[in-house]
Amino acid sequence: MDGAEVRELAYDLCLKEGARKDDLDTVGQWALKVREMYSDIESRRDDAREAGVDSVRRLEETWKLFRELEPKLVVNDEQLFRELKDRFGSPYGFGVYFRGGMGAEAIRDLLRDLDLTDESKTLRETIKTSKGQKQQRAIKRLKVVEAFIKSENKPEWMILEAVPVIPPELRPMVQLDGGRFATSDLNDLYRRVINRNNRLKRLLDLG
């Protein structure tokens, strides 16, 4: 309905109701508001339709990725990973069918599940049956694996869970001319860690 149709409708309403012709503007304004409401409803309906299409598309992508899941698979799309975990990795979705994580915590879990003895056997077999770059990569990995086995260190220990704090005497602040201070770069790094932890705590508190 365009402006001319709205005005014509308003005029007809005035005549049908027996109102004065001066009321045409009032009725016209009312009709324009009705038109705006109708346009808003149409717009909301289009938005809802687009949201529904996007939701179906995202679910199809999630289902496709779920069927292709394999150990140590890296999912580069964070939103898709969250959808995957909500749908298939949570008791509140379709069930818990896989375990996944993000960041250093996920890497630590992978290293914790690593069997160094089996990895050593696999690498030795690869060295015997392969050539070229594949063989050289296996040799380098075997050296690292054997070093862990001999030292009795665990691979997951390479992921820090707590940051060691160096004594203040080793990262001093020196006052310069003009009231300024020169400080160690470590102090700035510690400040960033503290600020980041505080933000994460606030996010956790918010749920």
The residues spanned by each domain of the chain are: 3-70, 119-158, 168-206
pLDDT beneath 50: ranges in the chain:
none
CA atoms within 13 A on the CB side of 90: 10
Give start and end residues of each alpha helix (H) in 93-207: 103-112, 116-129, 132-151, 185-206
89 burial level (CB within 10 Å; 0-12, 13-18, 19+): buried
Q: What is the pTM of this model?
A: 0.56
Among residues 102, 108, 104, 100, the alpha carbon closest in space to that of 157 is found at 108
